[in-house]
Each structure stands twice: as C-alpha cells, then as structure tokens.
Amino acid sequence: MNESAPHPRLVPIDDPEARASALALLAAGELVALPTETVYGLACDATNAEAVARLFAAKGRPATNPLICHLAELEAARRVGVLDARAERLAAAFWPGPLTLVVPKREPSPLAPAVTAGRNTVALRVPDAAFLRALARDLGRPIAAPSANRSGRVSATTAAAVVAELGARVPLVVDGGPARIGIESTIVGLFDATPRLLRPGGLPAEAIEAVLGEPLAAGEDAPEVAADGGPNDATGTGPARAAQLSPGRLASHYAPRARLRLDVRDVRPGEALLAFGPRLPEGTENAVARINLSPAGDLAEAAAALFEALRTLDASGAEAIAVAPIPATGLGIAIRDRLTRAAAPRG
Ligand code: TXA
Ligand code: MG
C-alpha cells in the first residue's frame, strides 16, 4: 500500500471532472476503477505493458489469467480480434451489453502480451456503460478491465466495495452508484467450430443460443481437454481442459470468509440467511442476519443484489451463510454459478 495515499480519490460519475481525470490517469499508464452495467471494473490502457503489469499486481491476479478488452464500438473490436459470422451476429444482437466474446487474436496485436496471458485468443466486450465506452473512444485504445476486486474475491458492485477491496492500490474510483445488472458478463468462446459458454453471466445463455441458432457447449466441462496448448488445443482431458478454456474459472472463487451452505430448507444456529422469494426456510427467525435477494422471486433483482448481500452477510460475523434455493433458469444459472464457487472448499 502507498502510505502517502491511504485512500483512493472518489469522483461521482456526473462530476464534470470525472472523465478528464480518468482519461489523464489512463493515458499516463495508471489504473482507474469505474462502473459498468455488470460490475465495477479496474481499468487500464490495454496497449501499455507497464499499466497492465500494475493492474495484475493491484488485483494479486495470476499472470496466467487473461483480461477482457473493452471497446467503444464493434469497429474497434474488429481491430483486435477476428470476428467470424457467428461473432458478428452476436455482436449485432447484444453489443453494447453484458456479453464477452473470446475470439482469435488479430495479429499483429496492439495489446500488451500480458493482457491475453500468452494466448492466441482475446476476450472482447463493448459494454453498455457509456462512461467506459467514452473513455475508450477518447483514449483511442482498448481498455483492459477485470472486475475491481482482489483476485479470488467477490466482485464489487458499488464504489464503496471497490474501496474496501483495493484501497490505495487504485488512485481514482468513479462512483456511478450500484451496478445495474450486478453479475459479470456472459463469456462465449468462438475460437473454433464449437461455440462454448465459458462463463454464465448477465446475459442468459438461452438468448445467445436463440441468435446463434445452435446450443452452446459447456466450456468448462467439455469432455475433450487441452494438454498445454492454447484454448484451441483439444487434446487433453479433465479439469486441465476447463482451466485452459476459461482460465479464471477456478472452483474456489468469489470467496467470502464465511462458509456457504446452498439450497437449504432450514437455517441452523449461528448461520446468516440469504433468502430468495416469498417462502422462507425453517428457522429463519434464528438467523443471526438475513437478506432476501428478491422477496418477489425476481432473478434480475436477485442478481443485482447478490454480491453486496454476500459482503454484508460476511461482515455480520456469522460463521456460515445458509442460501435458499434459487431456480436454475435464466439469470438464476449465473447466480447459482457464483454461489457454488463461493461455497467451494478453499485450499
Ligand atoms: O462483466 C465483466 O465481464 C466484468 C466487467 C468489468 O467488464 N469483467 C470481468 O473481468 O468479469 P474478469 O477479469 O473478472 O473476468 C474475465 C474472465 C476471466 O475468467 C478470464 O479468465 C476470462 O474472462 N478470459 C479473458 N480472456 C480470455 C481468453 N482469451 N480465453 C478464455 N477466457 C478468457
Ligand atoms: Mg473477476
């Protein structure tokens, strides 16, 4: 931590200075945390190797885990990646929005090599966040932005959560209020003949499949597996392949301090409760703390509330968090995915 600057500077997104300050920092190779429609991102100039190194260090992120490049528009995406007909269709349907496409990297690439962690593919997203798109346009370069949390922890959906995660590791945090969607983008791999769902997220897979006209293969649980090649290498087996296809998708992620118990029907002594919908589990009255993600049972409302609820319940000091059943449909798939990772044993 930088002793002389124990806190980052917080600027409201509608402050007339916000854009100029953020742009000046990015142009100087510094980091800026800012809101997107999914979660807050920790942004830097994706073509500046020093800035990218600073970003990996601030997150404590393994160098093997590549970053998403955010672009102002489709045209800019075509300059860093090779978009085939499928990618063009999805981009036309869902950009700007919560969809990330992993496509072959265009060579020669303007990107700092660390952005793609030595891969021959690149993750691209044109976000619905006007502020971030405007910055990418002003900077004239792709902006690398992972979620603005320390590696392996719960993503930040508010400026306060960013400050709690990163503190003075980031000089400027742009405050745009709570993120609208609240869960990270859906990642689709389009680097070979098989379209793959590499990460469920804010855009339900059903909507993507409808536009593609074919089902998405499960990116992580694909039966054929890479040895040590890039994601285009389909020769290995098991979890190694999963890690190859989607390197950031370690089983244990989004880790709160408290243990999580999923799909509960009852709350045990000492537990906090993360509820969903009108029906409450038995023993609800004994919960040491409780939050209902959506009393009406609305999955979009639940996704928007998820990460902040995990932070709050974790801070309650409960040793465990009991999580009510959440339906495995639409956005529920992404919510369940994050909860399963938060519940995974940590080594
Ligand atoms: O909604 C989002 O996607 C947010 C906002 C800030 O845009 N960003 C985000 O970034 O979630 P991050 O770094 O937390 O997650 C990006 C994921 C990682 O799991 C990473 O492994 C994967 O994208 N990824 C990046 N490049 C890839 C590639 N070439 N092949 C496969 N996976 C890739
Ligand atoms: Mg992340």
pLDDT at 235: 40
CB of 273 closer than 8 Å to CB of 289: yes
The atom of ligand 1 lying closest to the CA of 247 is 21
Element (H, E) at 225: strand 224-225
Residues 101, 188 contacting (CB under 8 angstroms): yes
Structure confidence at residue 219 as a pLDDT band (50, 70, 90): confident
281/284 Cα distance (integer angstroms) = 6
Q: Which of helix, strand or coil describes residue 34?
A: strand
Q: Which atom of ligand 1 is nearest to the CA of 105?
A: 29
Q: How far apart are CA 115 and CA 99, in angstroms?
A: 18
Residue range 237-262, pLDDT digits in tens: 455 555 677 787 765 666 788 999 99
CA of 249 to the centre of ligand 1 (A): 9
Question: How far does the centroid of ligand 1 lie from the alpha carbon of residue 12, in Å?
Answer: 26
Proximal ligand: closest to the CA of 150: 2
Q: Given its phi and psi angles, is residue 238 left (phi above 0), alpha (psi -120 to 50 degrees) or beta?
A: left
Q: Could you tell me the distance, in angstroms and rounded to a whole number, from the CA of residue 260 to the centre of ligand 1?
A: 24
Q: What is the residue-averaged pLDDT of the chain?
A: 91
Rounded to the nearest angstrom, the distance between the alpha carbon of 246 and the centre of ligand 1 is 8
Task: Give nearest CA residue, ligand 1 atom 31.
Answer: 246
The pTM for the full model equals 0.92
Instruction: For a ligand 1 pocket test, name from 31, 65, 68, 183 the mutation site with the most ligand atoms within 8 angstroms of its C-beta.
Output: 68
Q: What integer pLDDT is reported at residue 345 of this predicted model?
A: 79
pLDDT of residue 256: 80
Closest ligand, as measured to the CA of 247: 1
Give pLDDT tens digits for 300-324.
Answer: 999 999 999 999 999 999 999 999 9
Residue among 80, 100, 150, 241 to mutate when testing ligand 1 (max atoms within 8 A of CB):
100
How would residue 230 be classed by pLDDT, with cut points 50, 70 and 90?
Answer: very low
Which atom from ligand 1 is nearest to the alpha carbon of 202? 1
Phi-psi label, residue 254: left if phi above 0, alpha if psi -120 to 50, beta otherwise: left
pLDDT at 226 over 70: no
Interval between CA 271 and ligand 1 midpoint (Å): 32
Pocket of ligand 1 (CB under 6 A): 36, 38-39, 41, 65-68, 100, 102, 116, 119, 121-123, 125, 127, 145-147, 184-185, 187, 198, 231, 246-249
Through-space distance between the first and last CA atoms of the chain, rounded to whole angstroms: 26
Does residue 125 come out as left (phi exceeding 0), alpha (psi in the -120 to 50 range) or beta? Answer: beta
Q: Is the pLDDT of residue 283 over 70?
A: yes
- What is the pLDDT, as a whole number, of residue 306? 98
Q: Whose CA is nearest to atom 15 of ligand 1?
A: 146
Weakest mean pLDDT among 43-47, 90-94, 246-250, 262-266: 246-250
Mean pLDDT of 289-304: 98
> 211 near 90, Cβ under 8 Å?
yes
Residue nearest to atom 12 of ligand 1 (CA): 146
- Whether residue 333 contacts residue 204, with contact meaning beta carbons closer than 8 Å, is answered with yes
Residue having the nearest C-alpha atom to atom 6 of ligand 1: 41
